[in-house]
Amino acid sequence: MEPQRAPQNARRAKSHGGLIACVALAAALAFAAGALSACGETKGETDPDPGSASESGGAGKSDAAQAAGGRAPRDGDLPPELHPLETSVPIYGDRRLSRDAIEIKPYELMPRDLPITEADRQQIVKLLRALQELDPTLTSDHHDKWFIQNKRLVQELEMSTRPEIGWAALHAFSHYPERHFPIRRTLLAIGARVSPKEAEPMLAELAFNYDYYIEDRSEALLLLAETSPAVFFEGARPYIERQGKPFQTAPNDEFFVRGWLTACEQSGESPVEMMAQVATNLALEPYARVVAVRALGKHADDPRASGAIQTTLVESTGNGYLRRISAQTVMDGFPRETACALLQAVMNRDSDLNFARFLDDMIQLNCR
């Protein structure tokens, strides 16, 4: 059988060899044609004919073709000096608002009989229209510009020397129809800072009475501490000095403590005595005590402050966060030798293994 198959295999090999030769010849011809074409184009670009139309601007290549790299222009070509990303058209002028935006009606928010000018009223109207939230589907550049412009507008109004601006803002706050905290807070802040005397009764009413939104009460508490420290001290003291549960619904204890610190800063009084009471008062909310401990760290040279910090450091109520804040305050506020010795003594006697490891890490990082 093998002798009979040999001729067929030979013929098949010859056939395949001829096919391969044809394919190789075609490839060689195509390569040669491409090389000649490239040489012709290169020659035309590097050594143009002096009398050709490409130099004279005649019927040769057009400017668009030259800009496109020596070929006819195609759809999507851009001028060489531009980048595709630079062709996008900015749309900053688009003011699409969210569905929660409302129409601002000036005379419903600020009645006509108010002792303010129309220009004062229009400034608050302009602010309220600017503060309406944008459509959330807009890109971030819109929201960034909205935030920056509104911040500048609020700062300009807060720096106003016209008390009428504050009166208009307070009336707009009291008549604003929506429970929109950012807008209401802005109006209340402008009223309090531009017209503090006129705002004082409203702020005290909001801060210490039940029948208002809790977020408005919290903001009023901080603004009252900033603008009328004496009124704040009188009203806030019963809330901070209590030894049991709150006697009525009120803002979180944290706001009273922060307000007390602000009022002390504005009036020049020392916060140490009250902060020492707050830090060791188990009846208050835990984070209010954390704020007090951190504030005492700035007065660690006062024996009342250092004593309160050491008390919270070894407190056995299970408030590990407060103890850790106390340890960090010791390291930041006490002399280094005193702090290291105190933390070492507490670590050696503490039964909470996790807290002991925390102290050991602090000692290794700061006392070696």
284 inside domain: no
pLDDT of residue 282 exceeding 50: yes
User: Rounded distance, CA 272 to CA 298, Å?
Assistant: 9
The reported pTM is 0.71
Residue 175 and residue 214 in one domain: no
Long-range contacts made by residues 104-110, C-beta under 8 angstroms, separation at least 24? Answer: 104/128, 104/129, 104/132, 108/175, 109/171, 109/172, 109/175, 109/176, 110/168, 110/171, 110/172, 110/175
Helices (H), ranges, the chain? 2-46, 53-56, 63-67, 106-109, 118-131, 140-158, 163-175, 181-194, 196-208, 214-227, 229-240, 253-267, 272-279, 286-296, 303-313, 320-333, 336-349, 353-366
Residue 185 and residue 201 in one domain: no
Residue 151 and residue 215 in one domain: no
Q: pLDDT averaged over the chain?
A: 81
Residue 259 pLDDT: 97
**Which SS3 state, helix, strand or coil, does residue 134 take?**
strand
91 inside domain: no
pLDDT of residue 2 exceeding 60: no
Residue 174 and residue 237 in one domain: no
Residue 213 and residue 259 in one domain: yes
| Cβ-Cβ contacts under 8 Å for 284 (sequence gap 6 or more) | 240, 242, 253, 257, 278
Residue 148 and residue 170 in one domain: yes
Residue 129 and residue 183 in one domain: yes
Q: Are 258 and 222 in contact (CB under 8 A)?
A: yes
Residue 136 and residue 170 in one domain: yes
pLDDT of residue 298 exceeding 60: yes
Q: Are 144 and 207 in contact (CB under 8 A)?
A: no
**Which SS3 state, helix, strand or coil, does residue 292 take?**
helix
Residue 111 and residue 184 in one domain: yes
Residue 232 and residue 189 in one domain: no
Residue 88 pLDDT: 36
115 inside domain: yes
264 inside domain: yes
**Which SS3 state, helix, strand or coil, does residue 104 take?**
coil
DSSP 302: S
Q: What is the pLDDT of residues 38-63, one digit of tens each?
A: 444 444 444 444 444 444 444 444 45
pLDDT of residue 16 exceeding 60: no
Residue 95 pLDDT: 72
Instruction: Provide, rounded to the nearest whole percent, the portion of the chain with pLDDT above 90.
Output: 64
75 inside domain: no
Question: Domain end: 174, 194, 214, which one?
Answer: 194
Total domain count, the chain: 2
Q: What is the pLDDT of residues 175-221, one digit of tens each?
A: 999 999 999 999 999 999 999 999 999 999 999 998 899 999 999 99
Q: What is the pLDDT of residues 96-118, one digit of tens each?
A: 888 888 899 999 999 998 899 99
356 inside domain: no
pLDDT of residue 69 exceeding 90: no
pLDDT of residue 83 exceeding 80: no
Closest Cα partner for 130 from 154, 161, 113?
154
Question: Mean pLDDT across the stretch 220-243?
Answer: 95
Residue 167 and residue 227 in one domain: no
Residue 202 and residue 166 in one domain: no
Question: Mean pLDDT across the stretch 79-101?
Answer: 55
pLDDT of residue 91 exceeding 50: no
pLDDT of residue 159 exceeding 70: yes
Q: Are 322 and 306 in contact (CB under 8 A)?
A: no
Per-residue pLDDT band at 336 (split at 50, 70, 90): very high
Which one has a higher pLDDT value, 365 or 80? Answer: 365
Closest Cα partner for 186 from 208, 212, 168?
168
**Residue 68 to residues 57, 86, 150, Cα–Cα distance (Å):** 16, 18, 46
160 inside domain: yes
186 inside domain: yes
Residue 248 pLDDT: 85
Long-range contacts made by residues 173-178, C-beta under 8 angstroms, separation at least 24? Answer: 174/202, 175/108, 175/109, 175/110, 176/109, 177/102, 178/100, 178/102
Q: What type of residue is 178?
A: E
The CA angle 289-290-296, to the nearest 5 degrees, is 90
Q: Are 70 and 62 in contact (CB under 8 A)?
A: no
Question: Mean pLDDT across the stretch 276-285?
Answer: 95
pLDDT of residue 312 exceeding 90: yes
pLDDT of residue 71 exceeding 60: no
Q: φ and ψ at 41, to 5 degrees?
A: -65, -40
User: Rounded distance, CA 313 to CA 320, Å?
Assistant: 9
Domain that holds residue 110: 102-194
